[in-house]
Each structure stands twice: as structure tokens, then as C-alpha cells.
Structure 1
């Protein structure tokens, strides 16, 4: 796991100053504490900071072929590199190292751009071909690893693992993209096809971009996508066997490491399944860790302890206070863009704990997206059944009226919070699902934005991204469409961004076996009843893991990391809440209605409403704007 950066001149082979590439690396030393390197040639410069995982002595980068016609800088892991290497050696290729990096160079020489289809793993790489005078940028299928890029006024294109590496280049103009602000206010993160800094782009998951000197910059090309268009006809018992085999293969391939390796263990289905299969494959006790909270209602450590004892892991647990708001500035630094998923706080702490003993940790990320594990997936199915039964001519006025008049009861039990449900039932399925993943509804955003901001945004609406993705999905069922959109938007934008930034912040490599692309493709072919049955998501996965895990672990209600942000803004962060309306970077932008922000803060502090999540969003946006634009 590493960080990459570089410069490529698009028109002529102008000299590249190595110091400029070095400056782009120096701002992200956390991604590569074990070494760094810069290589330049006419018109190109590649940089690399290294966290040594495979071939500790021989895997230094940027790496060149012996004739120096190819050069690569690479972040990530190719888990099947040994098999690909053996195939290449059989074709006459001679290797000088034992690293997976060298497999990229020889794979490209043998198969050209088709080589990426043979690589199984998480990766971003930039490969320079001197003979073709081209630079090839590639990102892994699911978007585990990030890559930002931008064109500059001097005719160059710069790229880097983190936005801060691009910002280190003096020619990058720092101006906010207002559409990305709308996106952030809707989702709590800036999606992968957007960036808070105007002119910066992120290479999409499963995409590649080939730049050839002297030619216009093309659009990135997708080399992989997941399809929900087919259905497996296999018996449930056969599907269970195939799923366990795929999970076992995914876990074992991610246990290859030349440094200490362990796992995150929350006591939930996903991380417990990973640990169970790791224990099966290991001849030593698996190193596991979990974070516990000193508030009983938030603490899941007892479940993790049960799994640790069941599989005799070398387990460590640390109790932390949920009042961990002191990390706010650390989060703002590592995410660069505003990021309001408050579970980033405990994620940082569990990564910090893991790094004390290991350099690589396996996580359970990805199963909810692949196997339909979120509550919103079940609600979407139930809502579509209602929409199918009641004509739109009846449904829209009926539920629309109920939704408008029903009180917004944040304080009430979940079963009584029907306002959003009524409004979603009034609309079409994709609109309803887009609304369900929005953390701040469109109507509320319109009230918060100033008149000038609304005018500048025009008809742009963040939810349309989900509506389009669902409409274009290769799918047969509304659940398929929802999962497809989540895999392309939510997964790389929120879940994988969180895990990448928080693990890299402490120099830890996180690996996600449940996001093996073959496992995701298998899950996409499952009949709906094998994904959701009754009130249970991830149905087939839970059935398949029954021989490994206790029933109450498999079927207990999902919790996830929880942070008490609402109480923070009535206590230690009350001053921050007040500042949001006036005197903050946010207030100085003119994007928001100051009176509306003031009411939000005042009503929350007075206990008249629960705006904790919204205030956290606004605070993280404020911190990001101050860092990025000096507002």
C-alpha cells in the first residue's frame, strides 16, 4: 500500500522538475513511511511513497523494465500476482524482483491494456510507455484505491493518490465546485465523479485513461462493470457451497504478506465471517482487534470477544470514549474533501489500534452492498410492492398529502417516523431510493442555501445521479438497480474512501476480501430471495456461514459504529454550532442563508429538534473549506 503522484506533459516532452514531483509526495508521507522515489524522463515524472508489504527489499518504485522503455508507479496489491507471474515466465519473461509491481510491467508488455483483466486486487497505477509516448492510468474494479487528476495551464496533466498531492502543485487553481457542495450536502461525501476543487477529477472505479502525447485527452474507458441482468438457477445448497468457496479463496489470497497481518473484528456478520475463514487458513492465531465504547448502548465488544474466543484469536480490545471530537482536524486533513460519515472517528481508532501490532488488516467492507444488507434495501423492496399495487394516480396524491401533513418526528420511535416513508411512496422507485440515501433532503437543502446559491446551481440536483445510475443499470429487479447504484456511488464515495483514508492515516494497509470482484459478480446473479428474505438481508451469506458462526451473531440487528454527535452539539461543540451561522468559513461563502443556519443551531441546542447529523455535515464542510481555500 502506497501513494503515487506524477506529471505528464500532453503536447511536448518538456522537462519535469523532480522537485515538483517530490513536493507532491511530501504532503502524504503517511501513505508511504518506508521509502520514496522519483523518476523523470523528458515529458514525464513519476513519484512513489512506499508502505512495504511484498518483497520488502526489492519492490522499490517507480519501477522500470530493464531496457527502461516502461516505467510504473503503483499503489495497492495484486493478489494473484504469483499465478500471473508463472504464466508470464512460461512465455519467456524474466523477473528481477519478487514484487507484484513487476508483474504489471511484464503483463503490459505481453498483453497490452488487456493485462488489467488478469489482475485480481485493489490497485491504482500509472504506466509510462516510452515507445508509444503514452501514460496509462488505471483504477481497480470496485474503487478500493483512489486516484485524482487535473489538467494544468502549462499543458500538463498531474495525478495523485490524494487531493492534497495535486494541491501541492503551484499551477493548480483552487476554486470550489458548487455542484460538489450540493452533492456533499445531499450525501455527506463528494461522490467519485465529482470533486470539491473545480477542474479536479477522480478516475472512476473499473476505469482506465490512456493519454498519448500530442493527442486530446480522451474520456476514461470502463474496463469492468457488474451486471445484475442474469439469474443463477443453481439449488440453494449449491449456491451456499459456491459462496463459501469464493469467500475462502478471497480471504486466503488476501493473507499473502511479508509483514504482520490481522483483522478488524466488530462481532458483526461480515468481519466475523472473514475472521472465521482466516482462522481456518492460518496455522497461527489470527491477530484481531476491536474498539469498545464506554457507553453500553454503543458497545459491541462483547460480540467481538465471543468470536475471538470461538476462533482462539490473538485479540485486543480498547475502550474509547465516544466523545472523540478532538479528531475533527485530523479527519479534515486526511479526507481533504468534506466527509461527514461520523463513523470515520471510530474507524480511525480501530486502525490506530491495529497498527500497533500489524501492517495489514482484513476488513468486512462490501458485503452489505453486494448481498443487500442495508435496511434501505428491504424498505425499497417493500415500497416497490406498494407502488405496484396502487396506481400512481391514487398513490401520488394520497401519500403525498400524508407526507406533507405528517410531523417530522425525529424524537419518536422509528415506527412512528412515517413522514419520509409517505413522501417516498408518493414518488417513483428510483426517486424514493435516491431520497433514502440522501442525508439532507432536497427540500431542506433548498431552505438552507441562499438565493444566490440556488440560482447558481440552477436545475442541478444531487439525487439525479442515483436516478440515472438506477435507470442505466444492467438489471432485472428494483433491488438490483438499488444495489448497482450503491456499488457505483455509495461504496467508493463513502465506505472505501473512509477505510482508505483512515487506514492510510496510520500507515496501515486495509484489505477487503468481500469485495473480490468474482464474489461481487456471484452475488449479482443471486435471485432476490437469496439476498433478502423476510426481514433479513444478506440471506444466503448468513445461511452459508451457519456452520461457522453462532445464530445470534448471524441474525442480530446490525449496529455499526455509532457516535453521539447530537449530544456533542448540545455540549462541547455548542460553540461550533453557533459559529456555523456566523463567523465561520462557511458563513463567509454566501452559499447559505445565515438565518436558516442560525435556526438549525438554536433549535438543536434547545432540544426542539435533532439536527446533529446536519450540524456535523456543516462543520466538516467548514473545516474543509478553511483548509482547501483559506476561507
Structure 2
């Protein structure tokens, strides 16, 4: 796994500042501590930090084709590179290494921008073709590996694996994007393709970007999408059998490495399934690791131990300190933009634990989105049935009134939280799902923001992110639609981002066999009743795994990988929250309504409300301002936002 960076002159062939390129490259040294190299020619400069995984002795980058006219920097793994290399050799290409990186330059020579259609793996790369005068960037289909870019005012195009490398360029303007701020306080992360900065973007999953020398603006192209093409006449039994075959095949190709390999084992269904397949494929015990918590409400370690015992893994358990508060500012620096998933804390620690033994770890991420594992899918389908009975014109006033009258009950089980259900039913399908996934609802965000900031939004609302993706969804059934939305937003913007930064902070490569695109394609075509049946999510997955895993691992309630924020904010972090939210840094931005901030703190700390998610998002935003921008007053364009 690696870090990549590049500079490209869109207006000509100005000399590349090697010292600046080296600085940008070194900022990502945590992604690749083994080696670092640069390449420059007039108008183009590439940098690479290497974590040696494959062809350790000769896989250095930047890497070239036979005559040096094509050069690439690459982050990721191409799992089918050996079969592609054989095909390319038969077509006349000559290989000098045994690494997957070299496949990219020859595939580009042979198939041009369609080379990405041939790659099976996780990847982000930048390629320069001197003969065609083309810069080409690509990101894998599910967005497992990150790629950021920016077109600067002087015509310089820059790209990197992490935002922090772009921030090192003196021409990069650090103005924040008000729409991204609205998105962040709705979702807890900033969905693709936005970043917190106006001038920077994420290359969206399954997209390529092409720039010709002398061309001002990049051309973006989507080369893949989740198909949801239905399988015809497949029985439950047939689906179970084929699912195991496909899962085993995906895990097998993800075992390819020349360095120590292991797996995360949380005790949940997905990671346990991956470990079960690994144990049957490997000729030695699997190295597994998990995190335990002192609070039994958050502790799954006993279930992880059951799987470890069954498959005789070399299991390593780390205890997470419930008061691991020192990570708050470290996380802000890792993610480079506001990021409010508190499970980033234990994720950071489990990656730290894994790196003590291995360089590559397999994880179970992606199973919930693929196979309908989230309970919110079940709630959404129930709400959709009610929406189908009454038209929106009747539902909106009726349930809107009930939602406004019904008391808020954060302490109650979800089935008793009728207020949230009434509010969702007063909305259409997309707005209703947005309401269920938002960490701050529409009314809260409107009260959170100052009057001047609400005006700066010019009517923009974060639900537009979901509406844009819903318009592109290839199917219309309610379950597949929200799975699709999560794959486009939550999976890539939260889950995969969280794991990439936490793992690469420790120079650990994490692979996700449940997100192999061929497996994703096949699962997407299964009948919805195979994924969610009654109250049981991942129905077909659990049935298929019954011979491989204990029932109490398969059929217990999902716990997640969370931390006890509500208690922290009423106890050991009580003063820190008050100091951060009521202090000068948030106040001087002009973004927030100070009266509402005080209300959030008081109502949470008194126990009347659970505002832990909202408070955490604000705490991480304040930490971002201090640790990433290093400014007491972050820059916002005054013509967009009048700061009092």
C-alpha cells in the first residue's frame, strides 16, 4: 500500500519544483515508509511512497513502460495482474518486474482508458503518457483507495492520496465550502466528490479523470456501477452454495502477498466469515486480532474468541481504554477534514494492534451494504409500506403534525421513538431515508447555523446528495435503492475512509474481500428476499455460513464498533466539550448559533436528551480547525459568508 502525489502543468511545460514535490511526497510517508522516489520532466512531476507488499525487491515507483514514454504512480493491489500479464506478454509487451504496478502501464498502452475495465482490485493511480500528452487518473469501483485532486489558479493540477499533501502546496487556497459544511453536519462525513475545501475534490469511485496538455479542465468518466441485474430462477439452496464458492474465491485472491498477513476479527458475521474462509485456504493458522472494551454493552470480544477457538487462529486481543481521549486531536490530523465517526478511535487501535504482527490484514467491511445488514433497512421498508398507503399530500400534514406534537424520547428503544417515525413518514422516500441516517436533522442544522451561514447556503440542503445518486440508481425497489445510496455515500465516505486512514497511519494494508467487484455484482442481483427476510438481514449469507460459524455469532443482535460517547460527554469529557463548543474558535468562524450550542450542551449533560452524535461532530469540527487549518479564524470568502 502506498501514497501517491503528482503535479501537472495544464498550460504548458513549466519546470516542476522538485523540492515542493518532495515535501508533498514526504507528508505521506506514513502510507509508505519503505521507499520514496520522484520523477520529473517539463510540466509533469510524480512522487511515490512505498509500503512493500508484492515484488519487494524490484517494484519501485514511479514505474515506466519499455521506452519510458508512460509512467505511473499507483496505490493498491491488482489481484488479477498475473493473468493480465500473460495476456499482455502474448500481445508483445515486455515485463521487467513481477509486480502488479507494471501491468498498469502495459494495459494502458494496449487498451487506453478502458484498461480500468480489466483490473480486479483496489486502486488509485496517476499515469502520464508523453506521446499522447495525457494525464490519466483512476479510482477503483467501490472507492477502497482514496484520490484527491485540485486545479489551482495558476493552471497547476495536483493530486494525492490524502488531502494533507494538497494542503502543502503554497498555491492551494484553504477556503471552506459552505455546502460541504452542511453535508458534514448531516452525514458526519463529507460525501464524494466534495471535500471541506472549495478548491479540492475526491475522485469518485469507479471514475477516471483525463487531462490533455494545454487543456484547462479535467474530463471525468464513470466506467462502472453496481448493476443489480437479477438472477433468473435461482433457489435459496443454489444461492447459498454459490455464495460460499464466490466468497472463498474472493478471499483466496486477497491472500496474495509476500509479507505477513492476518485478519481483523470483531466477532460479527462479516469478519468471522472472512476468517473462516481464510482458515480453510491457508496452510498455517490465521493471525487474527480484535479489540475488547471494558463496557459489556460495547464488547464483542467473547464472540471473536469463539471463532478464533474454532479455527485455531493466532488470536491477539487488545483492551481499549474507555478514556482514550488523546486520540481526538490525532484523528483530526489523520482525516484532514471533519470526520465524525467515533468508531475511528477503536479502528485506529485495532490497526495499531494488527501492525505488531502483520503488514496486510483482511477485514469484513462491505457486508452490511451488500447484504442488507443494517437495521435501518428494515425500518425503511416498514415506512415505505405506510407511504404506499397514503399519498404524500395527506401524509405530510398528518404525520408532520404528529411528529411536532410527539415528545422526543432518545432514551427509549427505537420502536417507541414514534416522533422520528412520524417525521420520516411526513417525507417522501429519499427524504425519509435521509432523515433516518442524519446525525443532525434538518431543523437542528438550521438552528445550529447562524443566520448569515444559512443565507450563504442559498437554499442548499444535504439531502440533495442522496437525490443525485437516487436519480442514477438502476433499480427502483425500496431495499436495493437504499443499499445503492449507502454504497455511494456511507460506505465510501465513512467506512472505507475510516479504515484507510486508520490503517495507513500504521503502514498497514487492509483488504476487503466482501467488496471484490465481481462478488458485489453477483450479490446485487439476488432477490431482495434473500437479503432481508422478515426481521433478518443478511438472510442468505447467514444461512450459507451455518456450517462454518456458531449460531450465536450468526444470529445475535448487531453491536457495531462504537464508543460510549453519551457517558463521556456527561463525565470525563464534560468540560472539554463545553470549552471547545463555547470557545473562541467556533465563535470566530461565524458559522454557528452560540445560543443553540449552549442548549445542546446543557440538555445533553442534564440527561434530558442524547445529543452525543451532534456534540461529537462539533468537537471534531473544532479539532479540525485547530489541528489541520492551524487557524483561530478559518478562511471563508466574505462575499459568501459575512462573519460577524
- Classify 1:485/1:413 alpha carbon distance in 2 versus 1 (closer, same or farther; 3 Å): closer
- Does residue 293 (structure 1) correspond to residue 313 (structure 2)? The answer is no
Question: Is the Cα contact below 8 Å between 2:531 and 2:538 reproduced in 1?
Answer: yes
Give 2:23's aligned residue: 23
Partner SS state of residue 38, structure 2 = strand
Distance 2:95 2:552 in 1: 50
Give the Cα separation in 2 of the matches to 1:393 and 1:102. 59
1:313 equivalent in structure 2 = 313
1:496 positional shift: 0.4
Q: Is the Cα–Cα contact under 8 Å of residues 581 and 618 in structure 2 kept in the other structure?
A: no
Contact 1:232 1:525 (8 Å CA) reproduced:
no
Specify the alignment match of 1:33 in structure 2: 33
Q: Which moved more, 1:378-387 or 1:279-288?
A: 378-387
Q: Describe the superposition over 1:321-342 as per-residue Cα deviations: whole angstroms up to 9, x where unpaired.
A: 2221210111011101010000
Look up the match of 2:57. Answer: 57
Map 1:444-483 onto structure 2 (within 5 A).
444-483=444-483
Q: CA deviation at 1:142?
A: 0.3
- SS of corresponding position for 1:319: strand
Relative to structure 1, is the Cα distance of residues 539 and 371 closer, same or farther in structure 2, using a 3 angstrom cutoff? same
| Structure 2: distance between partners of 1:55 and 1:306 | 36
Matching residue of 1:254:
254
CA contact (8 A) 1:340 1:617 kept: yes
Looking at structure 2, the residues matched to 581 and 215 of structure 1 have their Cα atoms a distance apart, in angstroms, of: 45
**Distance apart, 1:579 and its partner CA:** 2.1
Cα distance between partner residues in 1 of 2:391 and 2:220: 41
- Cα shift at 1:246: 1.3
Partner of 1:562: 562
Counterpart in 2 of 1:328? 328
SS at match of 1:569: helix
Alignment-derived partner of residue 241 in structure 2: 241
* Shift in Å, 1:42: 1.1
Partner-residue secondary structure (3-state), 1:21: helix
State the Cα deviation string for residues 201-258 of structure 1 (Å, max 9, x = none): 1100000001101123234100111122535431222211221111111100000000
In structure 1, the gaps of 5 or more residues are none
1:574: how far off?
1.6
- Is 1:121 the counterpart of 2:118? The answer is no
**How far off is 1:153 after superposition?**
2.1
Name the SS for the 1:324 alignment partner.
Answer: coil
Give the match for residue 495 of structure 2.
495
Preserved CA contact (<8 Å) 1:174 1:628: no
- TM superposition shift of 1:393: 4.0
Report the counterpart of residue 166 of structure 1 in structure 2.
Answer: 166
Structural RMSD (CA): 1.2
1:121-178: per-residue Cα shift (whole Å, max 9, x none)? 0000001000011110000000001111001122110000000000011110111111
> Which secondary structure state, in structure 1, belongs to the residue aligned with residue 583 of structure 2?
coil
Contact 1:365 1:514 in 2 (8 A): yes
Aligned-partner Cα distance in 1 for 2:414–2:325? 27
TM value normalised by structure 1 = 0.98
For the 8 Å contact 1:273–1:545, the answer to whether it is kept is: yes
How big is the shift at 1:564? Answer: 1.1
| Residues 120-159 of structure 1: pairs in structure 2 closer than 5 A | 120-159=120-159
CA displacement at 1:626 relative to structure 2 = 2.1
Q: Which residue of 2 aligns with 1:186?
A: 186
Is the Cα–Cα contact under 8 Å of residues 303 and 553 in structure 1 kept in the other structure? yes
- Pairwise CA distance, 1:567: 1.5
Tell me the residue number matched to 1:89.
89
Aligned to 2:523: 523
Counterpart in the other structure of 1:594: 594
Q: Tell whether the 8 Å contact from 2:66 to 2:94 is kept in structure 1 after alignment.
A: no
User: After the TM superposition, which of the residue ranges 517-526 and 391-400 deviates more from structure 2?
Assistant: 391-400
TM-score by structure 2 length? 0.96
Deviates more, 1:100-109 or 1:224-233: 224-233
The answer on whether the counterparts of 1:371 and 1:537 sit within 8 Å (CA) in structure 2 is: yes
- Check conservation: 1:578, 1:602, Cα contact below 8 A: no
Q: Distance in 1 between matches of 2:305 and 2:584?
A: 44
Shift of 1:54: 0.3
Equivalent pair of 2:332/2:628 in contact (CA under 8 Å): no
Once residues 440 and 577 of structure 1 are traced to their aligned partners in structure 2, the CA distance between those partners, rounded to angstroms, is: 17
Partner of 2:437: 437
Question: Could you tell me whether the CA contact under 8 Å between 2:333 and 2:628 is conserved in 1?
Answer: no
For 1:266 and 1:582, the matched residues in 2 are separated by 37
The answer to whether the aligner puts 1:208 opposite 2:208 as a matched pair is yes
What secondary structure, in the 3-state scheme, does the structure 2 residue paired with 1:503 have? helix
Q: Name the CA distance, whole Å, in 2 between partners of 1:597 and 1:142.
A: 37
What's the CA shift string for 1:53-106, capped at 9, x where partnerless?
Answer: 001110011111231100000000001111111111222222111110001111
Partner of 1:357: 357
Residues of 2 paired with 1:31 and 1:584: CA distance? 34
Q: In structure 2, what is the equivalent of residue 101 of structure 1? A: 101
Query: Contact between 1:276 and 1:548, CA under 8 Å: does it hold in 2?
Result: yes
Q: Partner residue of 1:80? A: 80
Q: Partners of 1:92 and 1:231 in 2: how far apart?
A: 38
Aligned to 2:9: 9
Q: Please state how far the C-alpha of 1:110 moved relative to its aligned partner.
A: 1.5
Tell me how far apart the structure 2 counterparts of residues 98 and 230 of structure 1 sit (CA, whole Å).
38
SS at match of 1:297: helix
4+ residue runs over 4 A deviation? none
Q: Which residue of 1 aligns with 2:342?
A: 342
What SS does the aligned partner of 1:128 have?
A: strand
Q: Show the counterpart of 2:642.
A: none
Matching residue of 2:304: 304
1:472 CA displacement: 2.7
Q: How many residues align?
A: 631
3-state SS of paired residue (1:73): strand
Question: Is the 8 Å Cα contact of residues 185 and 440 (structure 1) preserved in structure 2?
Answer: yes
The secondary structure found in structure 2 opposite 1:193 is coil
Given that 1:434 and 1:467 are in contact with CA atoms closer than 8 Å, whether structure 2 keeps it comes out as: no
Distance 1:476-1:413 versus aligned 2 partners, 3 A rule: closer
CA contact (8 A) 2:36 2:48 kept: yes
Q: Does 1:510 align with 2:527?
A: no
Give 3-state SS (helix, strand or coil) of 1:522's partner.
helix
